[in-house]
Amino acid sequence: MKARVLKAGGTWNVVQTSVGEIVKTRLKGKLRLQNFESNNPIAVGDWVELSREKDDWLIKFIYERENSIERQSTKIGKQVQILAANIDQVVIIMSLKNPKSSLGFLDRILVSAESSQVKACILFNKIDLLSKNEIEQAYYCEEAYQKLGYTCRLISLKEKNGIIEISKIVRGKLSLLIGNSGVGKSTLVNSLDERKNRLVGKISEANSKGKHTTTLAELLFLENNNTMIIDAPGIKEFGLYSIKPDKLRWTFPEFLPYQKKCKFSDCMHKNEPHCEVKLAVAEKKIQLRRYNYYLELLNELQ
Ligand SMILES: Nc1nc2c(ncn2[C@@H]2O[C@H](COP(=O)(O)OP(=O)(O)O)[C@@H](O)[C@H]2O)c(=O)[nH]1
Ligand SMILES: [Mg+2]
Ligand SMILES: [Zn+2]
């Protein structure tokens, strides 16, 4: 039977079967060895095939992923953690104040989304805390990212309008929600959780005896099950492991119109002569901050 992974715990996984039943499953031993680059071969959002063995449901295989968002898990060296698979979009929540999220963190996630060819939306939250002057800066920042092609919203989750705006963005889709601690992720989830329909949370708590539950991403059904959100808690660092240095330039959408005119077709926009990207930076057509961040990431990946 086909099923979707709602929570991936390594040895146990919570899935929803094609008939809507939510069950706990284990991995077939063989599967565990297959994907050794990852600390857990199963990801939230995965489609899997189950087989029945005695009283247990076992995961026989994982269907090919349409996409996935990965990060290097810092604790376990170079191992890759798959944050989510088969998603429609990444929704990044940034807090403008208390705490102020860093644009570097945002750019990093955008690079990851671009490299996985997943759409990204940016929510700048807590606008209610800003002074008039700060709101102007926030609009400026929103406009800058909007120009890069990302859907951006300046919102306050304390206001009804903010929640309506978010609902429009996430309704009917599977979104991976990413943001530092304190930015408003739980507030967002709860405000869309009309029926307090947190099935996954309940099941996993019962099964894992409270261990590690806060560090695992889980797929939640919100807005009368029309909306699915994968809440990835506690992300402080976001290592970009699987991106090859020479692929990085394709993850900055503002480079695209210029880099095809660089003298060298494999130009990395670093020290090469006749680089149209560097020229565009000098002419302020590309943000210097973003370009510098590109160089910083390039350095990190090389
Ligand atoms: N002033 C203000 N506070 C907010 C807003 N959104 C969330 N908060 C508050 O920020 C704190 C952290 O929110 P929470 O949802 O727990 O953040 P999480 O760590 O990302 O899950 C809570 O006290 C929220 O009430 C907002 O738009 N404006
Ligand atoms: Mg939270
Ligand atoms: Zn170049």
Can you give the pTM of this predicted structure? 0.91
Domain count, the chain: 3
CA 221 to ligand 1 centroid distance, Å = 21
Band of pLDDT at residue 195, cut at 50, 70 and 90: low
Q: Of 190, 209, 231, at which residue does a domain stop?
A: 231
pLDDT score for 204: 43
Nearest atom in ligand 1 to 187's CA: 15
Report the mean per-residue pLDDT for the chain. 87
Residue whose CA is closest, atom 9 of ligand 1? 184
Q: Please name which ligand lies nearest the alpha carbon of 98.
A: 1
188 or 75, greater pLDDT: 188
212 in the same domain as 101: yes
Neighbours of ion ligand 3 (CB under 5 A): 262, 267, 269, 275, 277
**Cα–Cα distance, 79 to 72 (Å, whole number):** 6
**Cα–Cα distance, 60 to 212 (Å, whole number):** 25
The structure tokens 């029945």 sit at 52
Q: Of 180, 198, 231, at which residue does a domain stop?
A: 231
87 in the same domain as 38: no
Instruction: Kindly state the average pLDDT of the residues 186-196.
Output: 83
Q: Please name which ligand lies nearest the alpha carbon of 181.
A: 1
**Cα–Cα distance, 263 to 272 (Å, whole number):** 8
83 in the same domain as 26: no
Nearest atom in ligand 1 to 162's CA: 27
Any residues with Cβ below 6 Å from ligand 1, and which? 125-126, 128-129, 156-158, 179, 181-187
| Residue 189 pLDDT > 70 | yes
Say if residues 232 and 84 touch (Cβ distance below 8 Å).
Answer: yes
Distances (CA, A) of 1 to 30, 57, 62, 118, 236: 19, 10, 12, 28, 37
Residue 240 lies in a domain: no
Q: Please name which ligand lies nearest the alpha carbon of 255.
A: 3
pLDDT score for 248: 96
Percent above pLDDT 90 for the chain: 69
Band of pLDDT at residue 233, cut at 50, 70 and 90: confident
> Looking at the DSSP assignment, which residues form a beta bridge with residue 123?
93, 153
Among candidates 176, 184, 180, which has minimal Cα distance to 125?
Answer: 184
* Three-class SS state of 135: helix
208 in the same domain as 79: yes
**Cα–Cα distance, 59 to 1 (Å, whole number):** 10
The pLDDT tens digits of the residues spanning 112-157 come to 999 999 999 999 999 999 999 999 999 999 999 999 999 999 999 9
Instruction: Kindly state the average pLDDT of the residues 196-214.
Output: 43
DSSP letter at 247? G
Q: Of 62, 81, 103, at which residue does a domain stop?
A: 62
219 in the same domain as 287: no
Neighbours of ion ligand 2 (CB under 5 A): 185-186
187 in the same domain as 268: no
pLDDT score for 64: 94
* Three-class SS state of 152: strand
294 in the same domain as 171: no
pLDDT score for 30: 62
CA 255 to ligand 3 centroid distance, Å = 9
166 in the same domain as 43: no
Residue 211 lies in a domain: yes
CA 260 to ligand 3 centroid distance, Å = 8
Say whether the peptide bond before residue 99 is cis (omega within 30 degrees of 0).
yes
96 in the same domain as 150: yes
Q: Find the radius of gyration of the CA atoms of the chain.
A: 21
**Cα–Cα distance, 28 to 9 (Å, whole number):** 14
Tokens of 128: 């209610």
| Residue 228 pLDDT > 80 | yes
| Residue 293 pLDDT > 80 | yes
Residue 82 lies in a domain: yes
Domain containing residue 72: CATH number: 3.40.50.300
CA 155 to ligand 2 centroid distance, Å = 18
Residue 277 lies in a domain: yes
Q: What are phi and psi of 70, to 5 degrees?
A: -120, 160
Say if residues 191 and 170 touch (Cβ distance below 8 Å).
Answer: no
pLDDT score for 9: 83
Say if residues 189 and 60 touch (Cβ distance below 8 Å).
Answer: no
103 in the same domain as 135: yes
Nearest atom in ligand 1 to 159's CA: 27
Question: How does DSSP assign 170-225, residue by residue?
Answer: HTTSEEEEE--TTSSHHHHHHHH-TT---HHHHHHHHHHTTSSGGGS-EEEEETTT
Say if residues 207 and 8 touch (Cβ distance below 8 Å).
Answer: no
Instruction: Kindly state the average pLDDT of the residues 158-172.
Output: 96
78 or 22, greater pLDDT: 22
To test the pocket of ligand 1, the residue of 157, 177, 235 to mutate (highest count of ligand atoms within 8 Å of its CB) is: 157
Domain housing 274: 245-301
Residue 116 lies in a domain: yes
Residue 236 lies in a domain: no
The structure tokens 């092609």 sit at 149
pLDDT score for 59: 92
Residue 279 lies in a domain: yes
The pLDDT tens digits of the residues spanning 11-51 come to 789 999 999 999 999 887 766 555 545 557 899 999 999 99
Report the range of poorest mean pLDDT among 153-162, 198-207, 229-238, 258-267.
198-207
Residue 171 lies in a domain: yes
Instruction: Kindly state the average pLDDT of the residues 254-274.
Output: 97
199 in the same domain as 96: yes
106 in the same domain as 53: no
Give kind and range of the element (H or E) at residue 185: helix 185-192
